[in-house]
Amino acid sequence: MSLPDSIQVFERGWLSSNNVLLVDDACAALVDTGYATHAPQTLALLQAALGERPLDLLVNTHLHSDHCGGNALLQTAWPCRTAIPAAEAEAVRHWDEARLSFRATGQTCERFSFTETIAPGAHLTLGALDWEVLGAPGHDPHSLMLYCAEERVLISADALWENGFGVIFPELEGESGFAEEQAVLEAIAKLDVRTVIPGHGAPFTNVALALERAFSRVAWLRADPARNAKNALKVLIVFKLLDVRAMSFDALAQMLDSATAMRAAAAMLKPRDAWPALLQGLIEELAAHGGPLTVDGTRIVARGA
C-alpha cells in the first residue's frame, strides 16, 4: 500500500471507524475518532504516534457515533480545533438529539464542541497535502469525503468500502438515498483514485472492482428497499450487542420501538405485531454459521463476549 509518509491509518475493529492521522510541520490532524467506548484506545494510539506533540485538529467526515465518538475525550486531552460538516453545525451547537443520529440508532456519543465547519468545495491542507472536500450523501445526507488529487487518495468514509458501503439511512425514513449514493459512486469513478482509505476496513487500491461491487449493490437495494431495511436492522442489532456485549431479547425488542431508525426499518419489513418474530428471525440469521451473535436462553450475546 503506497500511502504518503504523512498519512497514517489506524484500522479499527467493528465498533469504531478507521482514524486517519495526517501530520506536517504546521498541524497534526485526525480524520474521524471512532466510537465512544473505544475512545481511551483511540487516545492511546494517538499518544503513541504523536509522542510529545499535541493533536491540533479533528475533522469528522460525518457525525455517526462510530466516527465522532472519540471527539469528546480527544478534546479533553488536547485543546484541538474541530471541524465538522457545516450542515450539522446547529444540531451539534445545541446538542439536538432529535437531529443527531445517536438516539435514533440506540448508540451513544459524548457531547463535544466544534470550532469550524467544512462543506463541499472547501480545501484543507493536511499532512502537507491539499485535500478537496466532497459531498457524499446517500449513507448520510451530510457526509463528506476528502480527496487529494496530487496523490490520488480518497478518504471515502462510508460512501465506498472495498466491499459495499454503509446503510442507506435516509431511505428508512422515506427520503431519497439510493440516487445520492449512485451519484457519489459516479463522482468517485471520475476522480482517477489510486488508493481509497475507507471508513471501515483496510485501505485498498482495486478501486474499479470496489466501484463495480458498489454499483451493483445500489441496484440490488433499489430493486427492493426492504433489503436495505433488513441490512440496517442487522447492522444496528450487531452494533448494539458489540457495544453492550449482552442483552435480553425483550430489551432488544423494546429498542425496535425506541430507536427511531430501527423502528423505521422494522416498519418497512413487517406490521408491528410481527416484530417479535421478525427480531427472532434476524437473530437466528446472525447467530447461524459462526455469525456475530449467540443465543443463551432469552439472552442475546455477542460472540466472544
Give the footprint of Zn ion on this chain (CB under 5 A). Answer: 64, 158, 166
Spatial separation of the C-alpha atoms in residues 207 and 162, rounded to whole Å: 8
Instruction: Determine which helix (DSSP H) or strand (DSSP E) holds 37, and give its type and residue range.
Output: none
Minimum CB distance to Zn ion, residue 248 (Å): 27
Nearest approach in angstroms of CB 105 to Zn ion is: 10
Of 156 and 195, which CB lies nearer to Zn ion in the complex structure? Answer: 156
**Least distance (Å) between residue 200 CB and Zn ion:** 9
Instruction: Give 34 or 166: the residue with its C-beta nearer to Zn ion.
Output: 166
CB of 36 to Zn ion, least distance (A): 14
Taking the complex as a whole, how short is the minimal distance between the CB of residue 79 and Zn ion, in angstroms? 27
The burial of 250, by beta-carbon neighbours within 10 Å (0-12 exposed, 13-18 middle, 19 or more buried), is given as exposed
Least distance from Zn ion to the Cβ atom of residue 277, Å: 29
Give the nearer residue to Zn ion in terms of CB position, either 34 or 203: 34
Residue with the shortest CB distance to Zn ion: 64
Nearer to Zn ion, 138 or 166 (CB): 166
Residue 151: how many CB atoms within 10 A of its CB? 19
Specify the residue, 57 or 159, whose C-beta has the smaller distance to Zn ion: 159
- Strand blocks (E) in the chain: 7-10, 19-23, 28-31, 57-59, 81-85, 116-118, 123-126, 129-135, 144-148, 153-157, 195-198, 246-248, 293-296, 299-302
Sign of CA dihedral 7, 9, 10, 16: positive
Nearest C-alpha neighbor of 207 from the set 224, 220, 190: 190
Close Cβ partners of 209 (under 8 Å, ≥ 6 residues apart): none
CA distance 14 to 91: 26
Smallest gap from residue 140 Cβ to Zn ion (A):
6
User: Residue 164 or 166: which CB sits closer to Zn ion?
Assistant: 166
Buried b (16+ CB within 10 A) or exposed e, 277-302: ebbeebbeebbeeeebbbeeeeebbb
CB of 195 to Zn ion, least distance (A): 20
For residues 141 and 173, the answer to whether their CB atoms sit within 8 Å is no
- What are the two backbone dihedrals, phi and then psi, of residue 10, each rounded to the nearest 5 degrees? -95, 105
Contact 170, 199 (CB under 8 A): no
Q: Round to whole Å and give the CA distance between 124 and 22.
A: 11
Residue 70 vs 294, nearer CB to Zn ion = 70
